[in-house]
Amino acid sequence: MRPALFAVLIAAALPAQAADLKALQCGNVFDSKSAKLIGPQTIIVEKNTIKSLSPGTVAVDGAQVVDLSQMTCMPGFIDMHVHMGQQSSPQSYSEGFRLDDIDFAFRAVGYADKTLQAGFTSVRDLGGEISLHLRDAINQGTVKGPRIYAAGKSIATTGGHADPTNGLNSELSHLVGPPGPTEGVINSIDDARQAVRQRYKDGSDVIKITATGGVLSYAKSGDAPQFTVEEVRAIVDTAKDYGYTVAAHAHGKEGMKRAILGGITSVEHGTYMDDEIFKLMKERGTWYVPTITAGKFVAEKAKIDGYYPEIVRPKAARIGSQIQSTFANAYKAGVKIAFGTDMGVGPHGDNASEFLYMTEAGMPSNIALQTATYNAAQILAPNELGQLQAGFKADLVAVAGNPLTDIGLTRKIAFVMKDGVVYKELAQ
């Protein structure tokens, strides 16, 4: 018997094979590369991979049919900035003293499920040690959630946005001692290299630095630069040794400029960007991940007495309200934009709000969808994610109606597939 024929007979004899082959009959499909709808398609999924796309409704022998004929199918959404291990609240500042990591980890299981159910099949987690482990648990099928690309501990300088000992009283500070590269705090070029190598040892997928102050850290300045350009360069160069990209949290212009000149991959938040920064980013191909959702969230909460510590409140009010207009200017200037929300600041599962804020600021719906699919994948895995094409991972979401004319539909995801497995079925 010829081997090929033998294989066919085996396939026919095993009913389990049928479930490995699915025919998704989509009423319409969003092509993320062209940012256009391309009409009805039958998408054949074999195990975790897209095998083919054929126009119209095509019958395929042995394939389980998934009727999405009333739906628009899109690549699974990608959020380039989340923190799966946390959820900010007025209690956040004291919980760190009372709870163990395992408490936060149990919460994270719920956040991961909400994120996936909202149609976000991949996320980049930019800071937090829990996500390294959550990623593994999801990949092993222990819990349900998006595919996670995790930074692990963010890298900061002393007193910087990601110094884990910010806000400790002097007695505790003295007991804990000054954090170093192992804890993600650097103060020299050598430290910078060590911190990146430690992240490799920890199992990180990407490097995150906090190039300027931040809103929610217990520190006065939200925008002061916090690295020298030489330190950034040392981080970026070492990161390249391990195939890492580098994401830089930044609000103030000077810190942002140093990060871009140092060679980072993406600017996160980017609050005080201006024409000079836009020009620099375009020259260097630097991405912008806006996180308007987080800006809106903190600006709103800053109005409530006692929600944030007094040192945080003015930063939240001033910086938070600025991000949406910065995004509008960056888009007009032609900066490359990838979708990100900073969920963990705002509520996990509400990620699609960012689409509404983006379109509200002047970005067309199809381009907003492209930022969360094709564009985001350019940073993470351009040949695997973000497109409904043969050979790509079978990550697909569907909505009832046309998301190009009603972007609000992205908040009503009706069907979710990740890696060829259906996590949300159409309601009957």
Question: Which residues would be at the binding site for Zn ion (CB under 5 A)?
Answer: 342
Helix or strand holding residue 59 (H, E): none
Q: How far is the CB of 64 from Zn ion (least distance, A)?
A: 40
Contact 406, 356 (CB under 8 A): no
How far, rounded to the nearest angstrom, does the alpha carbon of residue 362 sit from its chain's CA centroid?
A: 22
Q: How far is the CB of 1 from Zn ion (least distance, A)?
A: 58
Which residue number has the CB closest to Zn ion? 342
231 vs 342 by CB, closer to Zn ion: 342
85 vs 179 by CB, closer to Zn ion: 85
43 vs 343 by CB, closer to Zn ion: 343
Q: CA nearest 145: which of 177, 181, 109?
A: 109
Which string of DSSP letters, residue by residue, matches 365-401? Answer: HHHHHHIIIIIHHHHH-TTTSS--STTSB--EEEESS
76 vs 295 by CB, closer to Zn ion: 295
Token pair 């830089």 is at which residue?
Answer: 248
Looking at the DSSP bridge assignments, the partners of residue 310 are: none
3-class DSSP state for residue 165?
Answer: coil
**For residue 389, which amino acid is it?**
Q
Q: Which residues contact 106 (CB under 8 A, 6 or more apart)?
A: none
123 vs 399 by CB, closer to Zn ion: 123
163 vs 342 by CB, closer to Zn ion: 342
31 vs 268 by CB, closer to Zn ion: 268
Q: Which residues contact 124 (CB under 8 A, 6 or more apart)?
A: 78, 79, 80, 81, 82, 148, 149, 150, 151, 206, 247, 340, 376, 379, 380
Q: How far is the CB of 289 from Zn ion (least distance, A)?
A: 9
Q: How far is the CB of 127 from Zn ion (least distance, A)?
A: 6
Structure tokens at 321: 């309200």
Helix or strand holding residue 226 (H, E): none
Q: How far is the CB of 83 from Zn ion (least distance, A)?
A: 6
Q: How far is the CB of 123 from Zn ion (least distance, A)?
A: 12
127 vs 403 by CB, closer to Zn ion: 127
Q: Which residues contact 299 (CB under 8 A, 6 or more apart)?
A: 316, 317, 320, 321
Q: Which residues contact 26 (CB under 8 A, 6 or more apart)?
A: 40, 41, 42, 43, 68, 69, 71, 72, 73, 398
Q: How far is the CB of 23 from Zn ion (least distance, A)?
A: 40
72 vs 324 by CB, closer to Zn ion: 324
DSSP secondary structure letter of residue 252: S
